[in-house]
Structure 1
């Protein structure tokens, strides 16, 4: 039984399940996935045609790898040292690809800019948008694309909500992991207020009735 994590980075170190014992094999990457259902919904076309991209919370790094193989310069920033170490090991021979261990907000103090910034059930879901959205807007190139996805909001899960998981169920743990699980209208209002334009936010229904859908959002930095 693992000990309850005491920091957010430790939580993400242990959250993603391991694939059996011993050395893990890199997963197959043949599509850019925004949802939890392989092959469902749009792909990388949501990002336009960027020359550079920033992935906020890449975890295994599959989406970053897909873009890098198209010749796009991609940086993946993840809070978890374990996730970054694994991604670097798996994808070390893929050109145009860099993985960095950092908090998304801290990393976005750099002077770099990107043509696309995106998050697939990643840091945008787990970071206060009042902090994160202004930084993203500052680091997109003019006309650049911001896109993200997260779980469909349910009637009982609007706004910041505690994350659930077996590593958080220890009554002695003091760690609370929040998700900013807003409705499409709330996200659209937030994006507009922070200077984005061409905003499109909707819920993509799951392929099977009864399953949770995916909130999808795209916006651009104003010209």
Structure 2
């Protein structure tokens, strides 16, 4: 377990209120790929998830995971932060969530799960070295299984690869904590997925809603049959 990363994500989790009780349509669960509420595509990107085994890498406080389970998926969520896992269990005690780093969970040899879909929304796909994560995801997908993830586009043009993300504890005078994220434009992400054995790869930036400046990078690929 990456203890420093877990502490940093605890700070993040403690600063967030969690998903609201209802969205604009009045639904109690929903899927959101973007950082903007009630905006962008939904869970259909993952294919038919009814009865499917699905894995959420970096499930946070469990909002997307809860929606998939409500639709009939056999879903597991993994998050490195004890705070986030506790929030999920408090609000949705029926969910199967594990406190573990994504790459450690995927690499574990004490289970033989394979998944119809693996996804990450502003989660582990952004904050784990893709050289480590992509082969593990590919190995754990069934043939034809979907891998999809989203996060912010690179903040600075020309500044790609591992970057530092700062988490500031609320205590006065506390030292900030840092985690690494991996920033790439759509084309390099598509190339990396292709090299890892994924087919039908797409990578695009979803435009933000009116009045907002930052879009959302969405990448998806399929494990070849």
Whether these two folds match at TM > 0.5 is: yes
The equivalent position to 1:196 in structure 2, one of 195, 198, 202, is 198
1:31-64 residue CA offsets vs partner (Å, 9 max, x unmatched): 2000011121100000001311000001110000
Question: Where does residue 76 of structure 2 map in the other structure?
Answer: 75
Cα separation, partners in 2 of 1:139 and 1:207, compared to 1, 3 Å: same
Question: Where does residue 5 of structure 2 map in the other structure?
Answer: 8
Name the SS of the counterpart of 1:162 in structure 2. strand
- TM-score, scaled relative to structure 2: 0.86
2:106/2:137 contact within 8 Å kept: yes
1:146/1:220 contact within 8 Å kept: yes
Question: Where does residue 102 of structure 2 map in the other structure?
Answer: 104
1:164, distance to aligned residue in structure 2 (A) = 2.8
Question: Where does residue 40 of structure 1 map in the other structure?
Answer: 39
- TM-score, scaled relative to structure 1: 0.87
Cα separation, partners in 2 of 1:8 and 1:70, compared to 1, 3 Å: same
Name the SS of the counterpart of 1:41 in structure 2. coil
5+ residue gaps, structure 1, are 1-5
1:25/1:90 contact within 8 Å kept: no
1:58/1:64 contact within 8 Å kept: yes
Cα separation, partners in 2 of 1:18 and 1:120, compared to 1, 3 Å: closer
Counterpart Cα distance in 1 of 2:209 and 2:20: 26
1:196/1:219 contact within 8 Å kept: yes
Question: Where does residue 181 of structure 1 map in the other structure?
Answer: 183
Name the SS of the counterpart of 2:151 in structure 1. strand
Cα separation, partners in 2 of 1:87 and 1:172, compared to 1, 3 Å: closer
1:165, distance to aligned residue in structure 2 (A) = 3.3
For residues 54-69 of structure 1, the aligned pairs below 5 Å read 54-69=55-70
1:167, distance to aligned residue in structure 2 (A) = 3.4
